[in-house]
């Protein structure tokens, strides 16, 4: 007569065990991993099992502990990612702000050399965020004329920045070295 291994009835109930875990973690692949891990732990801890009839309760306890462990690992990983994202975000924002200030100072200086209506159009649309309709209404012109004015102002600004800043204008004035 052969003796049945204590985990054999549990292996036969694999689907039930998987469903139990999946209801708690809401992820099929993760549930499969947890059940596999619990079986591996179960084989290593068979000495803790005293009676064959308690194998089911014992294994469910292993599953619950594995679910809790996974939840803790996920929470710790999420906290670490949030911390890293916050750190990277603040560094990136600071660098972007510094670059924006440097570019804006250079562009603002050059924009002062444009015709007043071009400088005003760029200030209203690019800096204040006004729409073409709002620019048209404030300047007393049609929206299509406002759009043409903004287009020409941008082209004039681009020419002036290139003339004033030379090579650094080719790279978008991100690393301005024109000395102005």
85-136 pLDDT, tens digit each: 777 766 666 666 665 555 566 677 777 888 999 889 888 888 888 899 999 9
> What local confidence, expressed as pLDDT, does residue 98 receive?
65
Question: Are the C-beta atoms of 55 and 49 separated by less than 8 Å?
Answer: yes
Radius of gyration of the chain (CA): 34
Average pLDDT over residues 25-34: 92
The span from the CA of 77 to the CA of 122, in Å, is 46
Question: Are the C-beta atoms of 92 and 117 separated by less than 8 Å?
Answer: no
Confidence at 31, pLDDT banded by 50, 70, 90: very high
Dihedral sign for Cα 155, 156, 161, 167, please: positive
Q: What domains are defined for the chain?
A: 8-81 (1.10.1740.10), 112-170 (1.10.10)
- Residue 86 main-chain phi, psi, to 5 deg: -65, -40
> What local confidence, expressed as pLDDT, does residue 96 receive?
60
Alpha carbon dihedral 42, 43, 48, 50, in 10-degree steps, equals: 100
């Amino acid at each position: 007569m052969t003796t049945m291994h204590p985990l054999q009835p549990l292996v036969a109930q694999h689907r039930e065990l998987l469903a139990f875990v999946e209801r708690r973690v809401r992820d099929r692949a993760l549930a499969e991993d947890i059940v596999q891990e619990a079986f591996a732990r179960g084989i290593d801890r068979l000495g803790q099992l005293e009676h064959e009839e308690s194998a089911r309760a014992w294994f469910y306890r292993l599953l619950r502990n594995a679910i809790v462990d996974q939840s803790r690992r996920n929470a710790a990983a999420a906290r670490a990612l949030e911390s890293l994202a916050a750190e990277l975000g603040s560094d990136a924002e600071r660098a972007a702000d510094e670059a924006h200030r440097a570019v804006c100072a250079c562009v603002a200086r050059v924009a002062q050399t444009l015709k007043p209506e071009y400088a005003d159009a760029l200030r209203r649309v690019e800096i204040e965020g006004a729409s073409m309709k709002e620019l048209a209404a404030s300047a007393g012109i049609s929206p299509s004329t406002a759009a043409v004015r903004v287009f020409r102002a941008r082209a004039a600004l681009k020419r002036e920045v290139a003339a004033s800043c030379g090579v650094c204008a080719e790279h978008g004035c991100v690393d301005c070295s024109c000395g102005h």
